[in-house]
């Protein structure tokens, strides 16, 4: 099964690497980027084939669209007609709807829209899939297997993809933002930066692991840490005073709204 990955940026090259770690044959993976030097760099780095977009699409069983949203229309206008009738088209571009893709690929082409996140770099991505009108069950399963190489996968209705983008798609940025703040606080309190970083990252990892392994609601876990009159309660009071919870809600609403605007630009 030949997989053509169009777009050799962060997500495209990450997917190439993950597929190889999952046991895919390098000979079955083709990469292409509008910047020829980038195509050659990623192909040489991973030992896969680097071709032009037209050559990559020709005969591909799966075509992964990993280009920037603003480049999608031009790519499909130039090369969309080359996609085989029996091929699966998997898009990981934010805000690009299955309808947008189907209108440019022709009737009957199986399309799946996906929203992974950058944790794919360490095989811990959260990816959500939405199937197009013509997507077969087998193609959907193939998309699930492909993105399963980089982490967890769920399938849902496309109407929820803007929310997915706001929560898990952009989510790593929020976490990194919070981690930055915690590290800076450690430095402010007199800790060496390396020590503050180690304390923060391990605390984040441990808290996430607790939630996953215990299955308990985060409110329950938070209350277990928050002794009456203690340090955690004092800190949480300040976060509430500064409306941090409301700020997160507002930020995610803004992300979802921007995702919807990108879709509306069809």
Distance CA 103, CA 99 (A): 6
> Do 67 and 94 sit in the same domain of this protein?
yes
**For residue 165, which of 266, 73, 265, 254 has the smallest C-alpha distance?**
254
- Give the CATH number of the domain where residue 21 resides: 3.40.50.720
Please report which helix (H) or strand (E) contains residue 162, including its range: helix 161-164
Tell me how crowded residue 261 is: count the other CB atoms within 10 A of its CB.
11
232 in the same domain as 110: no
pLDDT at residue 203, rounded to an integer: 97
Domain count, the chain: 2
Q: What are phi and psi of 59, to 5 degrees?
A: 80, 5
* 15 in Cβ contact with 120 (< 8 Å): yes
What is the reported pLDDT for 161? 95
> Do 29 and 16 touch, CB atoms closer than 8 A?
yes
Predicted local distance difference test score (pLDDT) of residue 107? 75
Residue 243, domain member (yes or no): yes
Mean pLDDT by 10 residues, the chain (266 residues): 94 92 94 95 96 94 94 91 92 91 88 94 94 94 94 96 95 97 98 98 97 96 94 96 97 93 75
User: By residue range, what is the domain housing residue 180?
Assistant: 171-264
Residues 147 and 189 in one domain: no
pLDDT, position 140: 96
- In 121-223, where do the E strands start and end? 125-131, 151-155
SS3 assignment, position 214: helix
Q: Are 19 and 75 contained in the same domain?
A: yes
Looking at 158, 190, 214, the residue that finishes a domain is 158
Question: At CA 130, angle to CA 107 and CA 163, rounded to 5?
Answer: 135
**In a domain? residue 164:** no
Residue at a domain's end among 158, 180, 205 = 158
User: What element of type H or E holds 20?
Assistant: helix 10-21
The answer to whether residue 166 is domain-embedded is no
DSSP 8-state symbol, 164: H
Q: Are residues 243 and 150 in the same domain?
A: no
């Amino acid at each position: 099964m030949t997989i053509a990955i169009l777009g050799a940026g962060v997500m495209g090259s990450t997917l190439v690497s993950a597929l190889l770690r999952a046991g895919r044959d390098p000979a079955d993976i083709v990469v292409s980027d509008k910047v020829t030097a980038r195509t050659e760099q990623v192909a040489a780095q991973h030992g896969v084939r680097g071709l032009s977009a037209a050559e990559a699409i020709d005969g591909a069983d799966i075509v992964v669209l990993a280009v920037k949203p603003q480049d999608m229309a031009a790519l499909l206008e130039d090369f969309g007609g080359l996609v085989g009738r029996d091929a699966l088209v998997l898009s990981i571009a934010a805000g690009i709807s299955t309808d947008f893709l189907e209108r440019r690929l022709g009737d009957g082409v199986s399309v799946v829209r996906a929203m992974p996140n950058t944790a794919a770099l360490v095989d811990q991505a959260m990816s959500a899939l939405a199937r197009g009108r013509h997507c077969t069950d087998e193609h959907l399963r193939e998309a699930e297997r492909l993105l399963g190489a980089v982490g967890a996968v769920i399938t849902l209705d496309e109407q929820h993809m803007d929310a997915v983008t706001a929560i898990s798609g952009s989510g790593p940025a929020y976490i990194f933002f919070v981690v930055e703040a915690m590290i800076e606080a450690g430095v402010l309190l007199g800790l060496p930066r390396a020590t503050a970083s180690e304390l923060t990252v391990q605390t984040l990892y441990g808290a996430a692991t607790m939630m996953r392994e215990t299955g308990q609601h985060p409110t329950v876990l938070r209350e277990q840490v928050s002794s009456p009159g203690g340090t955690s309660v004092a800190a949480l009071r300040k976060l509430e005073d500064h409306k941090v919870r409301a700020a997160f809600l507002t930020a995610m609403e803004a992300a979802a709204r921007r995702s919807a605007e990108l879709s509306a630009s069809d």
